[in-house]
């Protein structure tokens, strides 16, 4: 590809493991860019180009580095498959528009090697990268019998993962650390999280988890409507069955952004994000102690990337990115709040509002007449002891308005 930047994947087996199609651009390169470990794998006699190690932080430096060597033959080194959690995406995203053409030469990824060693079908395994990401994100992927492959960030990552699993009630999980896959120093470490003995491992590794939930650990499913006990709260919590109905009305899709206005304990934003790893949410909560509680709940339930804005709505909504959906769980009678949320939505955006008061219900009935959508009342009863018998106790009914902006009925 004329004018392209060559991106060459290389494994722990170094130069010897590269096919001729990958060696050719490395020989021809006037500039070789990569991590120090990767650059050291190239023989100087075969690859005489100028060698440049990536600076830190990497992403902001990419445009300037490429511009500084424009017109020269550039080859960028990557670990394994450059398009799998690798530098190819970073180059395309960070180099600006138009991005340079990339001539990618993939090598077997560490995940492919790991599945080959373990006998796991690649398509049945979930892969998570822990590189520059909060470790708490692992919590959302923990389900009994699930097989996970984790891309580690450094030599202490396996010990940190083991500690998180013990703390979260998954100490029986089997951890295998596969080091230097495909190279002469390949090694396998094997133990449970409860008994993990290694404070440090080789920096170049993949973790394989066979997930086992410890007895007594609360079961958290993949669908909305987690048990109320999963949350730290002060009573400001959308209860389980109403929460499940609310998420169904919000209808999250991958990549979409939710505003959770009047966040309370954060349950709606948290379960929105748990539906897919690419879902995003912003919780807006005026009380600082509740805002801090939302942050703790988000970390404990595996979505630490949930953003919390502390301040009163509608003022706190100013400047936030455009949402795909808005949930209003409180404060409907605050002047201007409902209008601000409606105005922020683009065509096709969804709004769902819940209330238990007659005053707010009147507001929702008025908006239903003006904009359409669906107005429902949700009532949940639970069986409780009544003397020596059992009877029904009904929670306060919740009135819910859900609407899509720009829909035919709106």
Q: Give the CATH number, domain containing residue 69.
A: 3.40.1010.10
Last residue of a domain, one of 108, 123, 146: 108
Cα–Cα separations (whole angstroms), residue 37 to 11, 58, 349:
11, 15, 47
Which residues are within 8 A (CB) of 26 and not within 5 positions of it... i.e. 6 or more apart?
Answer: 6, 8, 18, 32, 42, 46, 47, 49, 75, 77
Residues 235 and 311 in one domain: yes
Residues 22 and 144 in one domain: no
Could you tell me which residue, 60 or 134, shows the higher pLDDT? 134
Q: Give the CATH number, domain containing residue 375.
A: 3.40.50.150
Could you tell me which residue, 406 or 119, shows the higher pLDDT? 119
Answer yes or no: is pLDDT of 3 > 50. Answer: yes
pLDDT on residue 24 = 96
pLDDT on residue 409 = 45
CA distance 37 to 339: 56
CA distance 149 to 181: 14
Answer yes or no: is pLDDT of 391 > 80. Answer: yes
Residues 300 and 242 in one domain: yes
Asked if the structure places residue 352 within a domain, the reply is yes
- Mean confidence (pLDDT) of the chain: 93
The answer to whether 134 and 305 are in contact (CB under 8 A) is yes
Give per-residue pLDDT as tens, 180-238.
999 999 999 999 999 999 999 999 999 999 999 999 999 999 999 999 999 999 988 99
pLDDT classification of 92: cutoffs 50, 70, 90: confident
CA distance 50 to 48: 7
Residues 12 and 87 in one domain: yes
Last residue of a domain, one of 108, 139, 161: 108
Answer yes or no: is pLDDT of 324 > 60. Answer: yes
Q: Give the CATH number, domain containing residue 202.
A: 3.30.950.10
pLDDT on residue 330 = 87
Answer yes or no: is pLDDT of 373 > 50. Answer: yes
Asked if the structure places residue 79 within a domain, the reply is yes
Asked if the structure places residue 347 within a domain, the reply is yes
Answer yes or no: is pLDDT of 100 > 80. Answer: no
Give the number of other Cβ atoms within 10 Å of residue 307's Cβ. Answer: 17
pLDDT on residue 159 = 98
Asked if the structure places residue 218 within a domain, the reply is no
Answer yes or no: is pLDDT of 309 > 70. Answer: yes
Could you tell me which residue, 325 or 96, shows the higher pLDDT? 325
Residues 266 and 337 in one domain: yes
pLDDT classification of 2: cutoffs 50, 70, 90: very low
Residues 384 and 247 in one domain: yes
Asked if the structure places residue 215 within a domain, the reply is no
pLDDT on residue 59 = 84
The mean pLDDT of 46-63, rounded to a whole number, is: 91
For the record, the structure tokens of 253 come out as 């899709």
Query: Residue 53's domain spans which residues?
Result: 5-108
The answer to whether 127 and 138 are in contact (CB under 8 A) is no
The mean pLDDT of 355-370, rounded to a whole number, is: 96
Residues 101 and 130 in one domain: no
Last residue of a domain, one of 92, 108, 124: 108
pLDDT classification of 93: cutoffs 50, 70, 90: confident
Residues 48 and 117 in one domain: no
For the record, the structure tokens of 325 come out as 């959906």
Asked if the structure places residue 409 within a domain, the reply is no
Asked if the structure places residue 393 within a domain, the reply is yes
Residues 373 and 267 in one domain: yes
The mean pLDDT of 369-394, rounded to a whole number, is: 95
Answer yes or no: is pLDDT of 315 > 90. Answer: yes
Residues 147 and 241 in one domain: no
Q: Tell me, yes or no, if the pTM score tops 0.75.
A: yes
Give per-residue pLDDT as tens, 223-242.
999 999 999 999 889 999 99
Asked if the structure places residue 124 within a domain, the reply is yes
Give me the number of domains the chain comprises: 3
Residues 126 and 198 in one domain: yes
- CA torsion sign, 12 to 15 to 17 to 22? positive
Residues 181 and 289 in one domain: no
For the record, the structure tokens of 274 come out as 């748990």
pLDDT classification of 408: cutoffs 50, 70, 90: very low
pLDDT on residue 1 = 39
């Amino acid at each position: 590809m004329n004018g392209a930047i060559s991106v060459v994947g290389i494994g722990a087996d170094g130069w010897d493991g590269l096919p001729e199609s990958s060696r050719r651009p490395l020989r021809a390169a006037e500039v070789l860019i990569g991590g120090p470990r990767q650059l050291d794998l190239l023989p100087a006699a075969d690859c005489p180009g100028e060698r440049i190690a990536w600076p830190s932080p990497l992403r902001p430096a990419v445009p300037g580095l490429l511009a500084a060597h424009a017109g020269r033959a550039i080859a960028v080194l990557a670990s394994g498959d450059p398009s799998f959690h690798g530098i190819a995406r970073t180059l395309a995203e960070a180099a600006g528009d138009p991005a340079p053409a990339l001539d990618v030469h993939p090598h077997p990824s560490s995940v492919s090697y790991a599945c080959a060693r373990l006998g796991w079908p690649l398509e049945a395994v979930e892969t998570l990268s822990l590189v520059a990401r909060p470790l708490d994100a692992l919590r959302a992927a923990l389900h009994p019998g699930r097989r996970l492959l984790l891309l580690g960030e450094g030599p202490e990552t396996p010990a940190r993962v083991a500690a998180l699993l013990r703390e979260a009630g998954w100490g029986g999980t089997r951890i295998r650390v596969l080091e230097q896959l495909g190279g002469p120093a390949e090694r396998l470490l094997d133990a449970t999280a409860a008994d993990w003995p290694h404070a440090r491992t080789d920096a170049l590794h993949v973790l394989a988890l066979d997930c086992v939930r410890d007895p007594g650990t609360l079961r958290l499913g993949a669908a909305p409507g987690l048990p109320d006990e999963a949350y730290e709260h002060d009573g400001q919590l959308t209860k389980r069955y109403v929460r499940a109905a609310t998420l169904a009305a919000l209808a999250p899709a991958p990549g979409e952004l939710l505003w959770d206005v009047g966040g309370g304990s954060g349950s709606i934003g948290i379960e929105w994000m748990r539906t897919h790893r690419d879902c995003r949410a912003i919780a807006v909560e005026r009380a600082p102690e509740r805002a801090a509680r939302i942050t703790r709940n988000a970390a404990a339930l595996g979505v630490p990337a949930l953003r919390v804005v502390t301040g009163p709505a509608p003022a706190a909504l100013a400047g936030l990115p455009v949402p795909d959906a808005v949930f209003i769980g409180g404060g409907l009678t605050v002047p201007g709040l409902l209008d601000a949320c409606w105005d922020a939505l683009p065509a096709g955006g969804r709004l769902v509002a819940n209330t238990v008061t007659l005053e707010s219900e009147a507001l929702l009935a008025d908006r239903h007449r003006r904009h359409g959508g669906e107005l429902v009342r949700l009532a949940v009863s639970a069986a409780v002891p009544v003397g020596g018998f059992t009877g029904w106790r009904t929670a306060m009914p919740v009135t819910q308005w859900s609407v899509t902006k720009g829909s035919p009925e709106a």
